[in-house]
Amino acid sequence: MYDQYGRPTVHNGRRIAYDQYGRAYYVDQSGYGSPSMPGSDGSSSPGAPQPVAPQSPGGAILAIPTLSDMNAANPNKVKNVRAPFYPTAPYYSTDQNVGHRVRYYSKSLSPSDTGYSVNSSTPVKQAFDTPGYLVAINASAFNEGSGNAFPVGVNPLDTFKINIEWSGSRQKLVTEDALGSTVLGRLGLWGELGGTGWAVDAGGTIVFNITPLIADTFINIVMVISEVIPPTNYSQ
Distance (Å, whole) CA 180 – CA 162? 6
pLDDT tens-digit series, residues 8-58 = 888 777 788 877 666 777 775 333 333 443 433 334 333 444 444 444 445
Residues whose CB falls within 8 Å of the CB of residue 18, separated by 6 or more in sequence, listed in order:
3, 7, 24, 25, 81
Tell me the average pLDDT across 201-215: 93
| Cβ 207 vs Cβ 102: under 8 Å | no
Q: In CATH, what is the architecture of 99-229?
A: Sandwich (2.60)
Give the pLDDT of residue 209: 96
The strand pairing partners of 142, in sequence order, are: 218
| Cβ 126 vs Cβ 103: under 8 Å | no
Give the pLDDT of residue 18: 76
Distance (Å, whole) CA 61 – CA 57? 10
The answer on pLDDT for 72 being more than 70 is no
Instruction: Write down the domain spans for the chain.
Output: 1-83, 99-229
pLDDT bucket at 61, cuts 50 / 70 / 90: low
Residues whose CB falls within 8 Å of the CB of residue 7, separated by 6 or more in sequence, listed in order:
16, 18, 24, 79, 81
pLDDT tens-digit series, residues 140-165 = 999 998 778 888 899 999 999 999 99
